[in-house]
């Protein structure tokens, strides 16, 4: 570890198993974003909600943790970083959906497998300028594919200035009937031949996700080169998860073949976001295959 680093930067590197070189890249690309978010918040009369989109393995969780730590250390803001992944339905709830709606809903990931009521209630509490907490923040354990017990959730007390909400499908919007008609991969062709699963997911996007987007003040996207990057990035993610999981708590960690199958659940909406979302965000970071930022632009002004 290099000498003289601020404590928050040392902690960031340790939490995410990052090389020190990450800090230089973050200073170049994401420190200006932290400054812009701080200026936005300081000009607001209420807590600000920032949404971050990025496909699986794109580094959005790490970026959000960097932004949170930088905003707290350098600007004195109280920041909460949420992941859409922590709001997955329990395994039992998804099994119920698999029985009553479609078998593919047993697998976490797509819209329809999140507890949107819990997410909205959590946001209500965090974004209330008069609230003082405590607010319980759910935690989902991917190693066992289930939500952690309530007594293991984080608790947030006091004022909140800014909330970061990251998710692989944040910003995804409903598709047309014509777009839904053709399967995008073998999973859809073989296990959803009549399109019931993808139609259900599409309905959830319209009913539950699009109203959520109306709450967002500022949008950020980490844009992958293509969907093909997802496999390699997700494999690396699972290897990190395996390394950090306790013995006996890794029965749901996937191998390479399982990942190849798993990412097919995400393919339709990931491709949809890569094709359309980049024009609608305020901050667009283009990534290369090594997950390094190559360009940054602002496709949309904050006033639009």
Domain of 194: which CATH number? 3.40.50.300
The verdict on residue 191 lying in a domain is yes
Enter the pTM of the model: 0.93
The verdict on residue 34 lying in a domain is yes
The reported pLDDT for the residue numbered 232 is 87
CB environment 278-301: b (16+ within 10 A), e (fewer): bebbbbbbbbeeebebeeeeeeee
The verdict on residue 118 lying in a domain is yes
The verdict on residue 90 lying in a domain is yes
The reported pLDDT for the residue numbered 254 is 81
In the chain, which ranges are continuous DSSP H helix?
7-16, 21-29, 31-42, 60-75, 91-100, 116-127, 177-181, 186-191, 196-204, 210-213, 228-244, 256-262, 264-276
Task: Spell out the residues 6+ positions from residue 194 whose beta carbon is closer than 8 angstroms to its own.
Answer: none
Name 47's bridge partners.
none
The verdict on residue 303 lying in a domain is no
3-state secondary structure of 200: helix
Q: What's the total number of domains in the chain? A: 1
- How far apart CA 202 and CA 174 sit, in angstroms, is 5
The reported pLDDT for the residue numbered 116 is 98
Query: With 0-12 CB in 10 A as exposed, 13-18 as middle and 19+ as buried, what is 9?
Result: buried
The reported pLDDT for the residue numbered 82 is 98
Q: By the 8 A CB rule, do 129 and 45 touch?
A: yes
From first to last of the 304 residues of the chain, give the pLDDT tens digit: 667 799 999 999 999 989 999 999 999 999 999 999 999 998 888 999 999 999 988 999 999 999 999 999 999 999 999 999 999 999 999 999 999 999 999 999 999 999 999 999 999 999 998 887 799 999 999 889 999 999 999 999 989 999 999 999 999 999 999 999 999 999 999 999 999 999 999 999 999 999 999 999 999 999 999 999 988 888 887 887 777 765 455 556 788 888 989 899 999 999 999 999 999 999 999 999 999 999 999 998 887 6
The verdict on residue 300 lying in a domain is no
* Domain coverage including residue 148: 7-289
The verdict on residue 299 lying in a domain is no
The verdict on residue 304 lying in a domain is no
The reported pLDDT for the residue numbered 183 is 98
Q: State phi, psi for 213 to the nearest 5 degrees.
A: -60, -25
């Amino acid at each position: 570890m290099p000498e003289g680093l601020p404590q928050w930067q040392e902690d960031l590197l340790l939490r995410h198993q990052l090389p020190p070189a990450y800090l230089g890249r973050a200073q170049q690309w994401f420190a200006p974003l932290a400054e812009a978010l701080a200026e936005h918040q300081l000009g607001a009369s209420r807590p600000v909600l920032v949404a971050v989109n990025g496909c699986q393995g794109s580094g959005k969780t790490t970026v959000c943790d960097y932004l949170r730590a930088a905003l707290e250390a350098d600007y004195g803001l109280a920041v909460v970083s949420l992941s859409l992944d922590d709001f997955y339905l329990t395994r039992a709830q998804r099994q119920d959906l698999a029985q009553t709606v479609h078998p593919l809903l047993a697998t976490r990931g797509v819209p329809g497998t999140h507890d949107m009521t819990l997410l909205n209630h959590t946001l209500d509490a965090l974004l209330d300028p008069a609230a003082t907490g405590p607010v319980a923040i759910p935690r989902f354990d991917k190693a066992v594919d289930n939500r952690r017990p309530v007594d293991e959730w984080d608790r947030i007390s006091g004022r909140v200035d800014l909330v970061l909400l990251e998710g692989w499908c944040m910003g995804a919007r409903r598709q047309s009937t014509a777009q839904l008609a053709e399967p995008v991969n073998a999973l859809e062709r073989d296990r959803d031949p009549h399109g019931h699963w993808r139609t259900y997911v599409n309905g959830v996007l319209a009913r539950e996700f699009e109203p959520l987007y109306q709450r967002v003040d500022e949008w950020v996207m980490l844009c992958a080169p293509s969907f093909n990057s997802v496999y390699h990035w997700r494999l690396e993610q699972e290897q990190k998860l395996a390394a950090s999981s306790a013995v006996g708590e890794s029965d749901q960690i996937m191998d390479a073949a399982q990942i190849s199958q798993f990412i097919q659940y995400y393919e339709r909406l990931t491709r949809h976001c890569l094709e359309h979302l980049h024009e609608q965000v305020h901050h667009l970071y283009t990534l290369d295959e090594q997950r390094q930022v190559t360009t940054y632009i602002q496709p949309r002004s904050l006033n639009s």
